[in-house]
Amino acid sequence: MKCFSDELNQGLLDQQAFMFGHRLMGHSALSLANLGSALPALPAGQVFYSSGLLNEKDDFDRAHLDRPNGLTLEATIENIRTSNSYVMVRKPEAHPSFQPLFQDLLSDVRSLCKSRGMGDSVVDPMLYLFIASPNSVTPFHIDRYSTFLLQFQGSKEVCVFAPWDERVASSEICESFMAYGGKRPLWRDEMAPLGHTFQFKPGEALHIPFMAGHHVKNGPDDVSISMSIIFNSSKTARQSMAMRMNHLMRPTLGRIGLTPKPVGSDAVRDQLKATAWQGCYSAARMAGLVGSRQDAK
């Protein structure tokens, strides 16, 4: 492992959230000097920033639109200690200074997936970088990927829920979210006791399994700098497609009083649904009904 410590418990990958150490403290790509020059050089569509004064109920995907902080990106970074802001950068590896870091992390993720029998391929890997003022909040959400989150500066509390827990988000909601069908998992105060809170500090890494809800609160003392690598294994890519197939079938089955079996408990059934989804997608594409291959993944 180049980036992750040897204490990492591989057997828990995508089963349960767990913490371990990382070896990237002091990496030059994460220095404030490099961030100050690299981030403004990235395409504007990859850099999102908003007020950090959010709560668990806010829409994480729309915070940069719904809750602007009224500053430019440069002013936001320069005043991050006091501006109550939250900066999220998608694919910072588009800048050359992040490429070696990305390749090293990808190498670790690839060997983890391989050793867990999840296949050689890592699907759609990408980095996300987060720079946040003290006390800022990342609202409750579920990602369409597995995550390794690495902390570089400041402390935070990360609350993670068990993956596939219907008490946190129903199959129907999760499938719609995965299929970009208009619904997303929402925070409800009664869910709070179901989460496990990790106290997270520099040098530590946290695995957030595929389909595990989570929310984050940064500590009061320092600016938080953290980075994640998100990815799908061949297994979670298959589950993702099976969920989209369930979303597609749900209205038709509902008309005859049936619901699709949830994804995640039967690999053979999930594979059949994933294959069906790929067939539907290919047919829709040939008919000119959809445009982007990305949506089939």
**Min. distance of Cβ 214 from Fe ion in angstroms?**
6
DSSP calls for 128-162: EEEEE-TT-EEEEE--SSEEEEEEEES-EEEEE--
C-alpha distance from residue 48 to each of 36, 69, 92 (Å) = 15, 11, 12
Which residue's CB is nearer to Fe ion, number 223 or number 229? 229
Rounded Cα distance, 117 and 103, in Å: 21
**Min. distance of Cβ 177 from Fe ion in angstroms?**
13
Q: Which of 23, 119, 123, 143 binds Fe ion (CB under 5 A)?
A: 143
Give the range of 47-55, 127-135, 140-148, 199-207 binding Fe ion by CB under 5 A.
Answer: 140-148
Which residue's CB is nearer to Fe ion, number 185 or number 260? 185
**Min. distance of Cβ 15 from Fe ion in angstroms?**
18
Give the range of 91-99, 138-146, 251-259, 277-285 binding Fe ion by CB under 5 A.
Answer: 138-146
C-alpha distance from residue 254 to each of 166, 167, 198, 250, 257 (Å) = 19, 21, 40, 6, 5
Q: What are phi and psi of 193, to 5 degrees?
A: -65, -15
Please, which residues have CB within 8 angstroms of residue 204's CB and are 6 or more apart in sequence? 19, 20, 21, 22, 150, 151
**Min. distance of Cβ 185 from Fe ion in angstroms?**
11
Which residue's CB is nearer to Fe ion, number 149 or number 274? 149
Closest residue to Fe ion, judged by C-beta, is 143
**Contact pattern for Fe ion over residues 97 through 136, marking x by CB under 5 A:** ----------------------------------------
Alpha helices in the chain (DSSP H): 32-41, 63-66, 73-78, 99-115, 171-178, 234-255, 267-286
Give the range of 24-32, 137-145, 156-164, 197-205 binding Fe ion by CB under 5 A.
Answer: 137-145
**Min. distance of Cβ 260 from Fe ion in angstroms?**
26
**Min. distance of Cβ 128 from Fe ion in angstroms?**
8
Task: Give the sheet arrangement for strand 122-132, strand by strand.
Answer: 18-21, 204-208, 146-153, 224-233, 122-132, 85-90, 47-51
Residue 165 as a binder of Fe ion (CB under 5 A): the answer is: no
Rounded Cα distance, 39 and 277, in Å: 37
**Min. distance of Cβ 141 from Fe ion in angstroms?**
6
Which residues of the shown chain bind Fe ion in the complex (CB under 5 A)? Answer: 143
